[in-house]
Structure formats: C-alpha cells, structure tokens
Amino acid sequence: MKSNVRVAIVGGSGYTGGELLRILIQHPGVEITVVTSREYEGKPVHYAHPHLRGIISTKFTHVDIDTISSNADYVFLALPHKVSLHYVPKLLELGLGVIDLSADYRLKNPEVYEYWYGVKHPYPDLLSKAVYGLPELHREELRNAKLIASPGCNATAAILSIAPLVKEKIIDTSLLVIDVKAGSSEAGSKPYRGGHHPERENAIHPYEASGHRHVAEVEQELSLLAGNSIRATLVPHAVSSIRGVLASTYSKVVDDGVDEMKIWRSYASMYSKEPFIRIIRGHPPYPDVKYVIGSNFADIGFSLEKRVGRVTGFAAIDNLIKGAAGQAVQAFNIAVGFPEDYGLKTPPLKPA
C-alpha cells in the first residue's frame, strides 16, 4: 500500500469536482496537488465551492500535462463526455494512473460507443484495457488498475438493483425495464432548460425516453455477469429533489416457485460483505434516496408480486457520491491498495 499518493483533479469546479475535493481532503493517504478549472483559473477553490472555504487553500490552475505529470501519481478527470478522450492516453503514457468520470472509456465495444455518443472512438485499444469502476462487480480487476472508467450514476443504480437476480438466473433477461428517478444535480452545474432546477421543481417528467445512453453500460455489465446477451430499456424521470437516483428495475421470474426467501438469499449472497451496500428489508420497507444523501452507500431492496410473477429490484444512491465522486474514490482506493473506505466514512445526512 502506498502512502501520501499525489492526486490531481482535472475539471474541479463542477459538482463532481467539488465532491472529489470534499472527499479527498479527508483521505488520510492523499495529497491534492493540482486542481484545474478554465473558468476559475488563478482563483481559490472556494470561488467555485464556497462550502470548502477555510478547509482547502489550493488555487485552480489551467490544464498543463507537464505540471500534472510532475506533481501527481493519479489523476481524476471530472470532465464532460468527449473532453476526456484525448487526455487519457497522454496521461497513461506518462505513467500516471487515471480515473475518468466521463463516459469516454466505459464501453468495451467501440461500435456501441459510436452509436450512443455519435463519434468514432479514437483509442479503441484503450477501451479493452479500461476497468469499469463498479467495485461490486470488478473488485479484483481494479487492483493495480491504471485506467478506471467510473460508471454513470443511472447505470450504477440500475446495475446494483438487479445484479443478484441476473447472476442467479432467477429472472427473464430478454428485456429488463428500468425506471429511474433523478435529482437535478445530475444535470450538472451549468443551467439549461429542462436541467435547470427551477424548471424541475414541482415537476415529474420523463426525458430521453426513446433511449438513454446509460443503458449501454447496464447491458454490457449485466451481460458479462449473466454470460449471455441481455437487453434493457431505461427511462429516466426528472424529479424536484436536488440529489439522488432511485432505480426500479422490472423483470419476470423464470420459475413460478420463486419466493421472497430465494430472492432475499440472492441479494444477501452477493452483497452481504460489500462495505457500501445496505440491503433494505423492514423499516422503511424499500430503499429511499432520503437516507443515502451525502454518503457512498447504495440502499438495495426488492419486491415480488407473485400473482403476475413480477420482481422489481430497487437501488437508491446519491448521484454525486456513489454515482460519481465517491465511487471513483472507492475504485481508486482498491487500485492503490488503500482500505476501501478511506475518505468515505461520512454517514448520510438527516434530515436532507
């Protein structure tokens, strides 16, 4: 295990960058050496993140690969999709570890990437080398990984909600139907119509209902888990909360004899030793985003309607923590050899 790992955050002024800073300044094995922002170059971090005033004195700089390579061992890329593409190979060539929080290296198949993101991937060889940063599925591959592709928030919740049932072949996987409720921070810190919180307050409406790009990650990861091709459809809904993702994944059992105990055992078998998974049974009866806000926990549950053979898996996460910055740090900890919960021991907030 390394100590005092030097870390750079590229794209540190957005919501995810702010959460990376908040988490990593509490990390006992990390030194934050570089934080970049085009908009706030030369200004203290608290210009973008007033809640960190008096906690971190670092100033934002512009992106300079030489400066980063001289002062960092690992780089967190908190950049928009398609912006990380060309940074990653340069950083890897210089021997740095990279945790990319964009979608640019999540998908193994370059044709699938082109379908969902509208451009040919310029480095298809790196797609095969990147490790999908979902620790619950890829913990062993993450050890000593140099390129980690951190999952999308909707994909994280969807995969975790149903993975045990896929693994145990309890459900029909010819078509999984995923309903996602997402808070407005998922849209990022730059307002635009539809993503801007005032447009979402007191509203509940679907978006990208004809096909959301995170479903590609869901199909990829669940297909690997099942050992066969899985099809899924994912419809997100904008709700008036600021943080949080609740995924409800609908499927049918393959055997009418399946009961709640068998389903419960499948979840317990897969998740009972996971440090950031809490299986919800009792009070409250199902996962609720309200009880994970500010934490790296994923609350998981299920329901079975025997009358029609329908089973639904639920997952509630904070989209900015388990769905982004926290999960990225969790994967980084595994890669470097730190205890998995370093920097991530903050419990959820209540009330939130």
Active site residues: 153
In 3-state terms, the chain is what percent helix, strand and coil (to 5)?
35, 20, 45
Which burial class, exposed, middle or buried, applies to 108 when counting CB atoms under 10 A from its CB (0-12, 13-18, 19+)?
A: middle
What type of residue is 80? Answer: P
- The β-bridge partners of 303 are 312
- Helix H segments across the chain? 15-24, 65-71, 87-93, 110-117, 124-129, 135-142, 153-167, 197-200, 214-226, 260-271, 326-336
CA distances, 177 to each of 9, 89, 215, 237, 332 (Å): 36, 36, 10, 14, 31
- The β-bridge partners of 178 are 234, 249
Residues 161/248, Cβ–Cβ less than 8 Å: yes
Residues 295/348, Cβ–Cβ less than 8 Å: yes
Alpha-carbon Rg for the chain in angstroms = 20
CA distances, 301 to each of 161, 202, 215, 348 (Å): 7, 27, 20, 18
